[in-house]
Structure 1
């Protein structure tokens, strides 16, 4: 017994001694980089030029096929959008199988097939692989391109472009590409309603015949397949794909970087936050010696949550939900960019702080723990990605497409771990060219320009399509004697006059729209002291809001959710039949200036509130309301709702907007007034639980 106890004590003391030797104040030294061993895909090439890479993986009974058409970047000029249309039309049937039959069979097999203008992807259970491969090949070689389908996709494309006209992010992306690369470069060209409208059916067919061919195509097969079997299948199905005459063209040179640090500003009066992005072109490819050092430098600057940019703009100052940087690698052209979406009032500060952090990584040595963490993140992500067989195939394709050495990925982690703090400073100075960069800033000029000018950074002005323009003029002279109540009274006169308006005791307005594949109906009912709004999708009520003198609540999914008393207090002036009458009576309305709404001057009327603030815009010439913005603060969250009004028509002598454009989730939706009922159709039951 004593022997057993003594052994226990010795073992305990030994364990204490071992733990005592560990200095927990220091971060453990990283172990050696994992040794990477990649199986090389088996490869063959068809006579028509299609190169096939096969990665066998029998862990799961599934297989995927990824087709890449390796065309050089191209411009299409006045027909921009044709490439999107051909991508949308392909994969929906073939000349041998109707669209419905094609899609039904793919669904029945539990598979999927997707096409774009530069390739396709398909996946299925391995037991259906031959049939899915046959369908994919048939859709690539014999696509069902009909004029009817073309017109449908063209209409969808143009509607999508209309939706993005008010999107700050869409404008920032478009202008950023156009100014960085030039509008005549493939990466700077963009699609507009006009260019999409120029495309005719014959253009789509011609584009397919010229550019969707096997000459420079790659098919990557991953999954539960046998190489000999799949080679036979691909030869049979894709061997029918005729090689086309090569179309040779030159990729234009990209535009030069800015001569000096500057702000390129785009005024978006509807913007509730600014999109800022510092950007400069870079000459960087994956095969370059600097590649791995640039990855680490970008990770430290803005590639993760703990990056310089995010810790400054988000964590320290609270300007944004997230700040990021990124750098592209491309044989033809690419860019470095860094920025965020920030609140209007801090746009200038965010610009200054972004510059500060980029200059910091260029001038100051990177802390060793920051460097180690960045490397560890890359090592972890790389090793984790290797668990996917698709990764092996993608790496093999990258080696071919980017002219990389065969050991590029087997030595990847060694090169990541070899990056030093000096390397980070060196490549930051080489590629993060703040001295030749432009800040693309898209925001509400009336609220941000004055402070942007104080940064001392020169400002150039552009419209939403990257055309140079003059500085917006916000100093519009207010007519003498004009005040908020005069503007509101003019609105009442414009819609029919005080006498007619006073005789209206109730209003029912029904607006209908198509969104997210459904018919959306918004029915609004108003009396002198009550308000109800019911939103339905495909005839089923989804949500309702009721406000009256005593309470305000929302109903969703059968659940009644009371709204705060402060919200009801803020909204009481707007509850009546015509909100403008309530605004006038409340004494809260404030005339804060004249702003442009769709290119025309409009009086800006603000109704402040602690939970709901309303801003309405009234056309200077007609007096009609053309826009309304509500800012709602609820349960710690801020939500902005914006609507534009047009196409006013009389109903029983009262003018109502028959077109209303607003947001439904991420989508901009145009609603049409389908019914307006005055002085009837409203009962007390409409405002009860």
Structure 2
């Protein structure tokens, strides 16, 4: 009976308590918990190397990270020397040849890599002593040979050449160079000329000067005891000669005097690269550091950021728009707001980005935005604590950045204390409207006219002109006169003559093409077959597996995407028919309706612009007559997408010239397909179109 009465009392108490809760109000948050963050064991070698050890026995693995915390290093007219040095580090040592070194690392199932101011290694615990020994040997006794130097130099120059026409690469170089100045370490541009200035002796001198232990930290994490780690590291790294890097000075970067557009003309650009930037002086130890991060997150930190919601979700200008705010203890750094946008909306995108920056400065963010952003940072922080690397990285930050010892222990408490007013104050401090530099890299013939009309808050935003190396230049001149007596038909006729002649092309019944490209380290294979009977097959493979295939056999066809097949509808069949002929220009002449829209610059050369349809434009070189570019506008998911094909490196096959380099660009992606083989009137059968 007593138990029954007790139970009833508890139920009544629970019901009474529940009745007193006002569920219309969100419960108030309790105080943020204080984090009990374990600390790594630390010791220091006589040469200046600081070592941090974090024991974690969950997995039988150990990883080691070397970081040299030097101030920014100016390379001057030998920009690229640090890249060459980093690519040569880890190629064995003076004690073990490159091949033997790599074979042993692979045999042990380990990884070792180097940067110009860093190194990394990872292995199973039982192999760690040897891997540490190998990494230390490669770091302290590098094997800089003339053969490796020439090989890495050639690779670096090849990479630079491939970026000479890439809008993203050019935009990145120009943004930094204009923000910092080209004499500042963060503003230097590495070019073929500066790389050719570098000698093997320069690489060796750079290594001796800057790959030194004075500002170096070594982090050991994993299944190893502190005593064992100390013994192994002391033995391996004590031979590293004690040295201090040279002290460098450089001019303090400054913002522009007034907001302006800095334009770089890139005639082959299919999209405009837009960035609004200004310099900031932000360090992790600053009191408003967290408020500044929250302001940036709300503005453009991801898919819920205001920039993304405006330029993509609302306007449909771009795939995405984001902002970034960097901290640096050595130098001023940058705030940037960026987007890759269609040419037609370049000017509008500039205005919308400026509007969002101004709005977050003038109007307080909402309580919901603040709470959601705090929750994101808190979640990331708590999740990171589950990784043993976090303990070491946080301890390293405290050492490098001069942070209070309790910086991370009180992180959640300080995050919780950030107010709406704090965020607005940080936005006003770090996001500039009076001294903003708007860098635009794009196709001037299509975007410049409207860009020069941009106004903001009733004031015209002036445009200044620069080349791809951030040098001041004159405004591009697009007034290229069309030669007398030239029309669309004469342009097409010249093209047909330049590639082999109309009669030779009419005798082509079919051709087969195979080409390859690289995508993020993976090989793309392209196979294409065409006939004069409205038959077409194109198959794109990734690592040997078909990812996208289109097949047309007269009036029927299909397409597959990652194994899913779909029959082509009438509209799709008609579009592919336009491309199915071995040489569509023969059909252009027969059908008529072409329009010569003038002369434009394509890849630095004059080209006739021929409008074939409302969605297709083709460009032919003024001098050679060869086709150099095709631009197609397609409708995808309610948005217009521009697809560009750049044609280069023409070679003769069976008396007809074909392009052996085809650069395919769609959205932010670009692939250089290099043709491996072309067969004319052979290599094609009816089975190819089944």
| C-alpha contact 1:573 1:583 (8 A) present in aligned 2 | no
Partner of 1:289: 287
Paired residues in the alignment total 682
Aligned partners of 1:513 and 1:376: how far apart in 2? Answer: 43
CA apart distance, 1:437: 0.8
Distance 1:301 1:507, change over 3 A: closer
Residues 563-616 of structure 1 show CA distances to partners (whole Å, capped at 9, x for unaligned) of: 44322202323322311112233345433332211111111223337xxx4332
CA apart distance, 1:182: 0.6
CA apart distance, 1:234: 0.7
SS of residue matched to 1:553: strand
Partner of 2:506: 502
| C-alpha contact 1:524 1:534 (8 A) present in aligned 2 | no
| C-alpha contact 1:261 1:437 (8 A) present in aligned 2 | yes
Partner of 2:118: 119
TM-score by structure 1 length? 0.90
Write the mapping of 1:39-58 to structure 2, written as runs, cut at 5 A. 39-58=38-57
SS of residue matched to 1:145: coil
Partner of 1:644: 646
SS of residue matched to 1:322: strand
Partner of 1:135: 134
| C-alpha contact 2:661 2:672 (8 A) present in aligned 1 | no
Aligned partners of 2:418 and 2:75: how far apart in 1? Answer: 41
Matched, 1:671 2:669: no
Matched, 1:106 2:111: no
CA apart distance, 1:486: 3.1
Partner of 1:469: 473
Write the mapping of 1:536-575 to structure 2, written as runs, cut at 5 A. 544-554=549-559, 561-575=566-580
SS of residue matched to 1:454: coil
SS of residue matched to 1:336: strand
Aligned partners of 1:422 and 1:540: how far apart in 2? Answer: 55
| C-alpha contact 1:309 1:354 (8 A) present in aligned 2 | yes
CA apart distance, 1:552: 3.1
Residues 161-189 of structure 1 show CA distances to partners (whole Å, capped at 9, x for unaligned) of: 22223322222211110000011111011
Partner of 1:628: 630
Residues 529-575 of structure 1 show CA distances to partners (whole Å, capped at 9, x for unaligned) of: 32334557899987654333222334678875534432220232332
Distance 1:537 1:344, change over 3 A: closer
Distance 1:299 1:510, change over 3 A: closer
Partner of 1:688: 689
**Higher mean displacement: 300-309 or 639-648:** 639-648
CA apart distance, 1:107: 2.8
Partner of 1:489: 493
CA apart distance, 1:650: 4.2
Distance 1:376 1:577, change over 3 A: closer
**Higher mean displacement: 202-211 or 654-663:** 654-663
Aligned partners of 1:514 and 1:381: how far apart in 2? Answer: 34
Distance 1:152 1:565, change over 3 A: farther
| C-alpha contact 2:515 2:673 (8 A) present in aligned 1 | no
Partner of 1:388: 387
Matched, 1:159 2:158: yes
| C-alpha contact 1:163 1:668 (8 A) present in aligned 2 | no
Distance 1:642 1:319, change over 3 A: closer
Partner of 1:239: 238
CA apart distance, 1:247: 4.0
Aligned partners of 2:17 and 2:165: how far apart in 1? Answer: 65
Aligned partners of 1:477 and 1:93: how far apart in 2? Answer: 59
SS of residue matched to 1:233: helix
Write the mapping of 1:194-593 to structure 2, written as runs, cut at 5 A. 194-244=193-243, 246-330=244-328, 331-456=330-455, 457-479=461-483, 482-511=486-515, 516=521, 520=525, 522=527, 524-533=529-538, 544-554=549-559, 561-593=566-598
Distance 1:668 1:89, change over 3 A: farther
CA apart distance, 1:394: 1.0
TM-score by structure 2 length? 0.90
Listed as ranges, the gaps of 5+ residues in structure 2 are: 456-460
Listed as ranges, the gaps of 5+ residues in structure 1 are: none
Partner of 1:60: 59
| C-alpha contact 2:214 2:245 (8 A) present in aligned 1 | no
Aligned partners of 2:58 and 2:262: how far apart in 1? Answer: 53
| C-alpha contact 2:70 2:245 (8 A) present in aligned 1 | no
Distance 1:237 1:649, change over 3 A: closer
Distance 1:561 1:2, change over 3 A: same
| C-alpha contact 1:186 1:251 (8 A) present in aligned 2 | no
Aligned partners of 1:287 and 1:501: how far apart in 2? Answer: 70
Distance 1:37 1:562, change over 3 A: same
Residues 141-170 of structure 1 show CA distances to partners (whole Å, capped at 9, x for unaligned) of: 122333333333223222222222332222
Partner of 2:604: 599
Residues 274-322 of structure 1 show CA distances to partners (whole Å, capped at 9, x for unaligned) of: 2221100111211222222212222222224333322322333232333
CA apart distance, 1:110: 2.8
Distance 1:47 1:260, change over 3 A: same
Distance 1:686 1:147, change over 3 A: farther
SS of residue matched to 1:215: coil
CA apart distance, 1:628: 2.1
SS of residue matched to 2:319: coil
Aligned partners of 2:447 and 2:415: how far apart in 1? Answer: 41
CA apart distance, 1:220: 1.2
| C-alpha contact 1:168 1:443 (8 A) present in aligned 2 | yes
SS of residue matched to 1:311: helix
Aligned partners of 2:3 and 2:398: how far apart in 1? Answer: 65
Residues 51-75 of structure 1 show CA distances to partners (whole Å, capped at 9, x for unaligned) of: 1112223333322211011222112
**Higher mean displacement: 108-117 or 430-439:** 108-117
Partner of 2:458: none
| C-alpha contact 1:257 1:281 (8 A) present in aligned 2 | yes
Aligned partners of 1:577 and 1:167: how far apart in 2? Answer: 29
SS of residue matched to 2:407: coil
Distance 1:294 1:202, change over 3 A: same
SS of residue matched to 1:532: strand
Distance 1:493 1:144, change over 3 A: same
Distance 1:626 1:322, change over 3 A: closer
Aligned partners of 1:126 and 1:367: how far apart in 2? Answer: 50
Aligned partners of 2:145 and 2:440: how far apart in 1? Answer: 42
SS of residue matched to 1:404: coil
Aligned partners of 1:649 and 1:17: how far apart in 2? Answer: 89
SS of residue matched to 2:606: strand
SS of residue matched to 1:166: coil
CA apart distance, 1:460: 1.2
CA apart distance, 1:514: 7.2
Aligned partners of 1:172 and 1:541: how far apart in 2? Answer: 34
| C-alpha contact 1:510 1:676 (8 A) present in aligned 2 | no
Matched, 1:188 2:187: yes
Residues 509-546 of structure 1 show CA distances to partners (whole Å, capped at 9, x for unaligned) of: 45566774759564544335323345578999876543
> What RMSD, in angstroms, separates the aligned Cα atoms of the two structures?
3.1
Aligned partners of 1:556 and 1:147: how far apart in 2? Answer: 48
| C-alpha contact 1:526 1:532 (8 A) present in aligned 2 | no
